[in-house]
Structure formats: structure tokens, C-alpha cells
Structure 1
Amino acid sequence: MTQNTPLSSCSSRLPLHPRDVTQRVLSAAQLRTRGLSAAQTSAQCLPGGPWQQILPGVYLLHPGPPTGPERLHGALLYAGRPPVSARRAPAGPGDAAYGEAMVTGVAALALHGFATVPDLGAVHRIDVLVPRTRRLRSTRFVEVLRTAALPVPVRVDGVPVAPVERAVADVVAGLDEAADVRRLLTEAVREGHSDPAALVRELSAAKLLGRAAVVGAVDALLAEGRAVAEGRLYAMVREHGLPEPLWNVELRLPGGPGLGGIDAYWPDHAVAVVLDTRAPRHGAEVRGGRPSDEAAWSAYAAKREHLERLGVTVVHLTPRKLREAADQQATVVRTALMAAADREPAAYVTVLPR
């Protein structure tokens, strides 16, 4: 007959610092590495005992309800445990025990700091991404999502979290109301979490662009994205002391055809800034995981080539560059303005408000 280890003996072996979630939630493999057998672990989880099993093979080392971080850690331990055939080395603490699993969905957006989702402690279901080959069932508060191509996770306080775009797509997949989709996409862009092109690419890859709740939200997203990018462009010019350009103008040859819209133009330097806010739309062909927008790119390239033949320097900026590296983009624009004195004079063009 197996003799159960007394509670005091078990507790003395296990560090239970109140702030250390990785020591309050442990997998069966981690408990074994600490010298506890399956029978000893089970004995601590009997009714009225000091521990509890919150998921298959995952234990909470106190009797109270799990906190949001404890549920999160438990979900990753459950989803990250390797198959039996691969369990050669003992599972280590924290990230080493998560395997390839990562948090996505609402819990991921809470970790990314979204205000339109509940705090982590109020998230009832934790979505976890795992490779498609994993044979793992959703259970209790864990929803297992399989994917053929795992994204590269972002580390948030040491927790592997799906990138914003993937987490947003996984949440949108479960939304039926256009207003909810619009609110989520708007926050992603307005608060600087992502840009429209990256979001639409992910929604397209998930085959969500054709949903009624998504179509109108994407239109609003693109409009919001352009407004946010223009605001960042204004801020970049002013905060970095660049000369004030003409904003949102149309260039034309005198008496000739239009040359296209320009977001910022310095006529004395013949330097133009064009924001690339292109994004694939529903029905766009996907190649290599990215929707094809060759027609839009060809039109942009033709406009740029025409302007440069006329002596106008075109600086191409994307919303992502403005969001993540505004200092570098200001340097690019400043360099183009300074180089104007060394170039041949540009052809005369007419500048009209757009």
C-alpha cells in the first residue's frame, strides 16, 4: 500500500511565493522532478486538501480559485505538454514547459493591452494556439486552436503570445456583430497596436473578409488607418523640425494630365511623400500567404516613375514605418530635402488641393 506524503513535507519542498505564478501552478511532470509521485500529488488534491487539479495534468498548489495569471499559466502548461512519445526530459519551469503553445484570442489581446476586451482575470476562455499535428482536446476553460503555420510569438512578461494581427483574427472569427468587429479593428489601429494592411492580410489568410460583419468594418478600418497615418506624418514633420510642406495635394503638368495625389509636397525642393495605405480586399488572390495587390502596386510604381522622370523625388512611407521608426523616416525625408540642391531642377508642375 502506497504511503501518502504528509502535507507539511510536500509544502516544504515547493516554493510558493505568492507572486510567483510558475510555482503556484505546476504540471505533473514538474511535480515529478520535485520528487512527488502521482499518488502523492493525488493525495494533496482530495476533497478538503491543499491543492486542486485545474486541468488534466495541471495542478494549482492552493485551494482557492485560480487567478487570471494562474489560469493562463495552466492553459499553457496543458497545451504545451509534449506527446508521451516525446517525454524524454523532465519539463522545466515556465517557458520551457510551454513547448510551441502560445496564447491567442481575447486573452492575448488583454496581454497586448487592448481596452475593448476584459481584463485577464475576467477572461472566461483562454484560446491557445498549437501545431496542427497535436492531438489535444479543448477542456474546461482552455480552447485549443490548431494551425498549420504557427506565428512567431511575442513575449509579454515572459508569456508567449500570438502577434496582435493573429490574435485579432482569432477573436473576429467568433464575432457576429459588425459593431464589435469595427470597435476591435479601430482600437488596433488607433492605439498603435497594428496597421490596416497587416490586419487585413491576416483576416484574408483566415478567410474572414467575406463575412458580413467584417466587410463594413474593413472599410471603416482603412479610413481610420489613413487618418491615423496622416496624423503621424503631421507629427513627424513638426516634431523633427522639417519645413512645412503642402499637405494633401494633386500634382499636374501644366495643361496636361494629372500626376496623382501626394500626401506632402515641398515645391521648392521637388520632394513628395506618399503614404502607402494599400490593403488587400475581399476576393484578392493569396500568394505565399500574402494577398496579391499587383494592380495597386503597379499603379503606384507607374506614378512614382513618372514623377521621378520629371525630377520629383518621391519618398515612400508606410503606416508601420511611421508607427515604429518615425525618427528614421524623418531622417530619410530630411536627406531628400538636403539633396535637392545637388539635383537638376525639376520640371514645372501645377499643385492643386486634393
Structure 2
Amino acid sequence: MDNLASRPGFVGARCHDRGMKRGSWGEDHELLLAQSEDGVIRTRDLKDLGVSSSTITRQCEAGGSWRWLLPKIVSLYRAPPSRRQQLVAAKLYGGERAVVTGYEACRGLGLMNAPATRTIHLLIPNDQQLREQELLLIERTRRLPKVVVTEGIPIAVATRAVLDAARRVKARDPVRALLAEAVQRGFTTVELLLEELAQGGQRGSAIPRQVLKELSEGARSVAEIDAHRVWKRSGLPAPLWNRPLVNSAGEHIATPDGWFDEVGLAWEIDSVGFHADPTGYARTVRRNSRYAAAGILVLQTLPAQLRAAPDQVIAELRAAYRAAAATPRPSVLVV
């Protein structure tokens, strides 16, 4: 049997537990807030607490103390809602099985390359009917994802969330940034993303598929994907990407972004941000010292050069390759 206290999102005691008459709940803002989630509550819960339909309507009209967030979802504050309150409203509107996905879920998981968006992407079961709202992008699906609950909000796991976001983006760079970060930081893997992409159909899959091909070739970041593209234009043999090098004694030297094994050339894509602090700079100096001690020629390229001056980078890469080829290959091994 349904009761208010057992419903998802209901917090607090029943009316009689407070010694209140049913009709008096609408007169006590603090008691209503105690039954809400961050000030957000369903109209049916308000009615179960003794607040009449006419009171709800009056409070949400101009001059009232509340506001509508979504159909049958009310904020007990007049001020514009916070993002947290909008997410709670989306959860309550979507029902028990609704899941937040896309960029909003990516942000909830901590991915930095997920931009803030006005719309909340909400997945609901395929057999559920909900009207799309200005705040919500509602997608019905037969494949509801596994869920991570973050601050009370059910969000899709990273593999699904990043692809749900990527499928709706028309530009390649934002997709590269998001998928590369998710893989590099260990939120998911290329294999899991490819599997999810195959199961989700073809709509919007072209750009994510191209990016995943680049990532599967060894690139771990957007800069390395740009490096792949520049290298392909260079006409040079394929380098090994992100493979550790050791000297003849088995001691670690470095893990270059690109390694041309035939001639012993290391290619590092070194960002300014990575070297901006003393720790990053010291780390790079130590790395370059190990390269020098092993007799390895290193070409360092800034990420911005890969896009702003790709022809110049190609010329530098070819020149470095020729220089490395003109000297004996250093005695190092690829792990």
C-alpha cells in the first residue's frame, strides 16, 4: 500500500507525528521544508501533507512564495533554483527509474572537459511517457545504464554518460577532449566505449567512432590525437605511442608520447601548463637528463603548435628523424 513516507524523495515524519492538523502544514514553511529535498517537493506530497491545490496554485503565482520548476514539481522558494534544485526536480519528475546522463552526469562524476549546459539529459524507461520540458532533454531507452548515486542524484556510469554526451555533439574537438579525459583518468576504457557504442545504434556515432579509433592507436590526450594527425602527414614510419623505455641495465628512462624505434627518436608533446609549476619543470628536467644520458635525441613540441603550425611541426619532426638516423641508435629497449 502506497504511503508518503515510503515514496522516494520523501523525508520526514507524517503529519500526526508533529501534532499538526492536515490543513495547517501549508502555514508552516519550516515544516514543509523538512519534508522536501533541498526545498523541492512534488505536489502530490504537498497534498498528502494537507496543502490544498488552491494553496499550491496561489503560492506559485506572481506574488506567491513558491515557484513551479516542472509540472507537479514545486520549489518552496521564490528565488531562481540552483542547479542542485533543478537536478532534484528532474529526479522527482522522471520517477524512480530515471537516470541523469550526458554532460551533467559527466560533471557529476568529476570530468573536467564536460561543459556546463542549461539542459539536463534524462533517461527514462522506454515504456514510460513524459513530456519534454524546457529544462529537460528526455530520452526513452530500452537500455537503462548502471547508475552511480551522487549526492542523491542517480547518474549514468561514465561509459554511458560520455557517449550520450558525445552522440549529440557535432564538433570533433569537444568529443576528443571528453573521451580522451575519460580514458586517461581511468573512468572507462576504449574497449568499453566501443562496446557501448555498438549497442547504442548508429545515430550520432560517427565522430565518437573516429575519436575512439585514434584513442585505440595509443593516444591518451587531445594533444596526442593532434600529434597522430600531424605524424600521418609526415610520411615517417609509425612511432610507438606511450611505451616505456629502459636502458641496458633495465632502468626506466621515460615514456615518450611517440617513439621512433628504428632511429631512437623520442617525441614529447609538452604543454606549458604541465611545466608552469616548479614540480612539473623539475620533472621534465630530470626526464630530459635521462634521455641525454641514454644518448636519445628528443623533439619537444607544444600542443598549440600542432594546430597553429602543423607544417612547421612536420618539418621539425622530419629533421629530427634524419638527425637521429645519422647517429648510432642508442642501446635502449621498449617495454
For the aligned pair, the TM-score class normalised by the smaller chain equals: 0.5 to 0.7
Match of 2:27 among 9, 21, 24: 9
2:29 alignment partner AA: S
Match for residue 118 of structure 1 among 110, 115, 119: 115
Q: Please tell me whether residue 166 in structure 1 is matched to residue 184 in structure 2.
A: no
**Larger relative contact order, structure 1 or 2 (CA cutoff 8 Å, min sep 6):** 1
Q: Which residue of structure 2 lines up, in the alignment, with residue 37 of structure 1?
A: 52
Matches of 2:153 and 2:177, distance apart in 1: 26
Deviation string 1:29-82 (CA, Å, 9 cap, x unpaired) is: 2212322122221121121110011110000111111100000110111111xx
Structure 2 partner of 1:55:
70
- Aligned-partner Cα distance in 2 for 1:42–1:213: 47
2:176 aligns to what? 182
Instruction: Tell me what 2:148 maps to.
Output: 154
Question: 2:198 aligned with 1:204, yes or no?
Answer: yes
Alignment deviations for residues 209-236 of structure 1 (CA, whole Å, 9 cap, x no partner): 9844234311222123599xx97x97xx
- CA separation of 1:65 and 1:210: change in aligned 2, threshold 3 A: closer
The SS at the match of 1:146 is strand
Note the alpha carbon deviations across 1:75-106, whole angstroms, 9 max, x for none.
111111xxxxxxxxxxxxxxxxxx11111111
Q: Kindly tell me: are residues 36 and 246 of structure 1, through their superposed partners in 2, closer, same or farther at Cα, counting changes over 3 Å? A: same
- TM-score, length-normalised on structure 2? 0.57
Aligned residue in 2 for 1:22? 37
Match of 2:93 in 1: 78
**What is the SS of the residue equivalent to 1:224?**
coil
Once the two structures are TM-superposed, the CA of residue 13 in structure 1 deviates from its matched residue by 2.8
Are residue 102 (structure 1) and residue 99 (structure 2) matched? yes
Where structure 2 has 5 or more consecutive residues not aligned to the other structure, the ranges are 1-22, 225-240, 245-249, 256-332
Could you tell me whether the CA contact under 8 Å between 1:173 and 1:208 is conserved in 2?
no
After superposition, the Cα gap between the structure-2 partners of 1:179 and 1:7, relative to the gap in structure 1 and judged at 3 Å, is same
Q: Is the 8 A contact 1:28 1:59 kept in 2?
A: yes
Amino acid at match of 1:57: K
Q: Residue 281 of structure 2 aligns with which residue?
A: none
2-side partners of 1:30 and 1:7: how far apart? 11
1:224 and 2:242 are equivalent in the alignment = no
Q: Deviations over 1:270-296 (max 9, x none)?
A: xxxxxxxxxxxxxxxxxxxxxxxxxxx
Classify the secondary structure of the residue corresponding to 2:33.
coil
How far apart, CA to CA, are the structure 2 residues paired with 1:9 and 1:210? 51
Correspondence list, 1:271-290, <5 A: none
Q: C-alpha displacement at 1:116, in angstroms?
A: 1.1
Deviation at 1:207, TM superposition (A): 2.5
> How much identity, in percent, do the aligned residues show?
28
1:313 is matched with: none
- Compute the TM-score of the two structures, normalised by the length of structure 1: 0.54
Change (3 A) 1:210 1:22: closer
State the alpha-carbon separation in 2 of the partners of residues 57 and 245 from structure 1.
Answer: 62
Q: How far 1:118 sits from its partner (Å)? A: 2.7
Instruction: Render the CA deviation track for 1:181-209: whole Å, top value 9, x for unaligned.
Output: 11111011112211111111111212349
Paired with 1:185 and 1:50, the residues of 2 have a C-alpha distance of: 43
AA paired with 2:104? A
Letter in 1 for 2:27: S
Superposed, 1:311-350 pairs within 5 Å as none
* Counterpart pick for 2:138 among 141, 144, 160: 144
SS in 2 for 1:30: helix
- For residues 150-190 of structure 1, the C-alpha deviation after alignment (integer angstroms, 9 at most, x for no partner) is 12211112221111111111111111112221111101111
Residues 244/14 of structure 1: CA separation in 2 closer, same or farther (3 Å cut): same
Inter-partner Cα distance in structure 1 for 2:68 and 2:40? 10
Aligned residues between the structures? 217
d(CA) in 2 for partners of 1:160 and 1:244?
A: 46
Q: By how many angstroms is 1:129 displaced?
A: 0.9
**Structure 1 residues 157, 244: CA separation in 2 closer, same or farther (over 3 Å shift)?**
farther
Query: Residue 167 of structure 2 contacts residue 208 of structure 2 at CA under 8 Å; is this kept in 1?
Result: no
Query: What SS does the corresponding residue of 1:14 show, helix, strand or coil?
Result: helix
Q: Tell me, in whole angstroms, the C-alpha distance in 1 between the residues paired with 2:193 and 2:137.
A: 23
CA RMSD of aligned residues (A): 3.6
User: Aligned partners of 1:67 and 1:28: how far apart in 2?
Assistant: 19
Which amino acid in 2 is paired with 1:148? R
Match of 1:127 in 2: 121
In 2, Cα distance between the equivalents of 1:7 and 1:47? 21
Q: Is the 8 A contact 1:108 1:167 kept in 2?
A: yes
Residue 310 of structure 1 corresponds to which residue in structure 2? none
Q: Name the CA distance, whole Å, in 1 between partners of 2:189 and 2:91.
A: 28
Change (3 A) 1:194 1:353: closer
